[in-house]
Structure 1
Amino acid sequence: MKTVVYIDSLFLMNFIINMILLKLTDVFSSSQTKTPKICLASSIGALYAVCMFFPNISFLYILPFKMLMSFFIVYITDTKTKLIPLIKKCAVFYLVSFTLAGVLIATYFVSFKNQSIHPVIQNGIVYFDISPFVLLVASFLSILIIWLSSAIFSRNKNLGLKSLKIYLGDKGCDMQALSDTGNLLKEPISNLPVIIVEKSFIEPLFPSGIPNGESNFSTEIKLRLIPYSSVGCKSSIMTGFVPDKILFDGNKEIKAVIGISDDSLSATKEYGALFNPLILKSNRR
């Protein structure tokens, strides 16, 4: 018995699945994509699925093109984002896709365990005639699985976040700081540990502009030059300063040097600083 595939049904089903995937990706990557963009990306993805039945363009369905298409679909939903956040969003998209695919196949085989199944294989892609009910159940289970996983991940991640307040003169700023055992930086003269802070988070401390090693600054600001190196990068110098007070969780006063990072530490701005957890156990004032 041959399976008959209707192009309009195939397009509609893939459009709905793409909508679900992109909406879930939006939720779990903390994005806010407008519905028209999601509809456009879903339509392109559905059209790509329909074209699998054209043998003359079978080269479009080899692995590199499949990955490129998924990247392009995610890019359409967020054309203004930078490369690294976009790659992270693609990773979320793949996670959601694999979860939905696994649950969908499991639900499909459980639902039709007493019936013969006739999938269609074209250009290396397996097509199952999925009913709306199976799709609905699989989508619900996928959302539940991803939500539970995300909740557990967020809980564990939040255990490493601390509230951080930095004071300089009569000014202060506060942010969330992420515990990072890989931050082993120390200021060479005082041997104090370095807390790396994203530049934008400490702007309130410097109304006239954040100082650097070459700029003019008040002698009251204790600037420090901190040598550092990272994987794949040559050694460089980070500008830092000694604040008047550093507080963790509102009451733990720490003695440390603040290193100013020009790079974004968190794509979602969830935290603005990185600290080694050992500084909470030592070097307290």
Structure 2
Amino acid sequence: MTVVYIDELFLLNLTVNYLLLLSAGKLAGERLRRLWLGAGAALGGLYAAAVCFPGMGFLLHPLCKLAVGVAMLLLAYGRSPRLLRVSLVFFGVSAAFGGGVFAIALLGGRGLTLKNGIFYSGMDLRLILLSAAGCYTLLTLVFRRGAVHTPRELRTAVVRLGERTVSLVTLVDTGHTLTDPVSGRMVLVAEGRKLEDLFPPGSGPDPWALTHPVEGMEKLSQGALGRRLRLLPYRAVGVECGFLLAVRADSVRVGGEELGDLLVALSPTPVSDGGNCTALIGAL
């Protein structure tokens, strides 16, 4: 008879689920909210522990497993406009990890086992935690290395508004297709907080205006920037339609290329989880 320790089962599945959610977010280029990742992983750990109690066998039904997986994703990434993409990556990473564990078991490894979608190990709890820490370090190094862009992709953008200028590390992204709906020209998307020095004191949009672009536009339209401000509609995965507050710059130069008076959209959130760039622009 196999003896299962509920606390070890919960902790192991919490750790594995956290690493899977973390890996999916890094691969999908998603912003990571560690507390919500932990909440999603804890839900998976509670599910694994609940299955072991008498009368809870119905939880092993595929629909129940799918529902728990979706609930984990909603907790971890429910606020993301790219929820569908990160969900597909998560299920792909989970399948790959489960396949790896199954392959190790076929080769005679007994450190970690997978049954009915639940991970269990007969190893000492301290060894499990040390192994998890090692896996996290390895994943961090691998994904950090994979997330580094080549010098040709990262360029310096200089945005000028009047006599004020701001320099931004900009990723030239071929998948970035946001354009000015009037002129059809490309749009530079930058972190709003990185453009604070572009505006005279007290005249620029504050964090509230960035997260509430329609109301922010009404509030700022009477100020010095009124004629420069625009509401820029956009679509993204998981977002039917949204708006970004944008300002018409006097000039934008990316690398050595002068692009003229482009619209600069002000993102209320970071454009890169790793912080290696603070702005995005389409292929030049």
TM-score (norm 1): 0.61
TM-aligned CA distance change 1:58 to 1:277, over 3 Å:
same
Map 1:201-280 → 2, pairs under 5 A = 201-206=194-199, 207=201, 208-210=203-205, 212=217, 215-218=221-224, 223=228, 230=235, 239-243=246-250, 245-249=251-255, 251-261=256-266, 264=269, 266=271, 268=273, 270=275, 271-278=277-284
Distance 1:149 1:258 in 2: 36
CA–CA distance in 1 between the matches of 2:66 and 2:232?
A: 39
For the residue of structure 2 that corresponds to 1:105, the secondary structure is helix
Residue 51 of structure 1: how far off its partner (Å)? 3.2
How far residue 178 of structure 1 moved from its aligned partner, in angstroms, is 3.0
Structure-2 change in CA distance of 1:227 and 1:97 (3 Å): closer
Deviation at 1:110, TM superposition (A): 0.6
Q: Is 1:12 matched with 2:8? A: yes
CA displacement, residues 71-101 of structure 1 (integer Å, 9 cap, x when unaligned): 555677x6xx762179477666545543432
Q: What residue number does 2:64 align with?
A: 65
Q: Aligned partner of 2:260: which letter?
A: K
Aligned residue runs from structure 1 range 11-50, under 5 A: 11-23=7-19, 25-26=21-22, 29=26, 31=32, 33=34, 38=38, 45-50=44-49
Q: Determine the C-alpha separation between the residues in 2 that align with 1:49 and 1:215.
A: 54
Q: Which residue of 2 aligns with 1:111?
A: 108
- Summarize deviations over 1:162-204 as a string: whole Å, max 9, x none: 3322122332223333324452624746x75432334333232
Which of 90, 99, 103 lines up with 1:102 in the alignment? 99
Please say if 1:174 is aligned against 2:179. no
- Counterpart contact for 1:18–1:46, Cα < 8 Å: yes
Structure 2 letter corresponding to 1:209: G
Shift of 1:235: 10
Which deviates further from its counterpart, 264-273 or 139-148? Answer: 139-148
Residues 108 and 159 (structure 1), Cα distance of their counterparts in 2 relative to 1, 3 Å cut: farther
Give the length in aligned residue pairs.
256
Q: Percent identity?
A: 16
Shift of 1:43: 6.2
State how far apart, in whole Å, the 2-side matches of 1:72 and 1:235 are: 24
SS in 1 for 2:221: coil
Residues in 2 aligned to 1:265 and 1:70: alpha-carbon distance in whole angstroms? 27
Structure with higher Rg: it is 1
Residue of 120, 143, 147 corresponding to 1:154: 147
SS of corresponding position for 2:55: helix
Partner of 1:282: none
Query: Could you say what the CA RMSD is over the residues aligned between the two structures, in angstroms?
Result: 4.9
Letter in 2 for 1:185: T
Given that 2:20 and 2:93 are in contact with CA atoms closer than 8 Å, whether structure 1 keeps it comes out as yes
**Using a 3 Å threshold, how does the CA distance of structure 1 residues 139 and 92 change in structure 2: closer, same or farther?**
farther
The answer to whether the 8 A contact 1:196-1:261 is kept is: yes
Pick from 185, 190, 200: which aligns with 2:179?
A: 185
Q: Which residue of 2 aligns with 1:132?
A: 123
- SS, match of residue 98 in structure 2: helix
Within 1, Cα distance between the matches of 2:20 and 2:242?
40
Residue type of the partner of 2:95?
Answer: F
Unpaired runs of at least 5, structure 1: 114-118, 279-285
Distance 1:130-1:111 versus aligned 2 partners, 3 A rule: farther
1:131-165 per-position Cα deviation (integer Å, ceiling 9, x unaligned): 43997999699669856762564135875333322
Q: Which moved more, 1:132-141 or 1:174-183?
A: 132-141
Which one has more relative contact order, counting CA pairs under 8 Å at least 6 apart? 2
- Rate the CA distance shift 1:170–1:63 in 2: closer, same or farther, 3 A: farther
The one-letter amino acid paired with 1:183 is T
Q: Which runs of 5+ in 2 are unaligned?
A: 206-215
Task: Quote the Cα distance in structure 2 between the aligned partners of 1:42 and 1:187.
Answer: 41
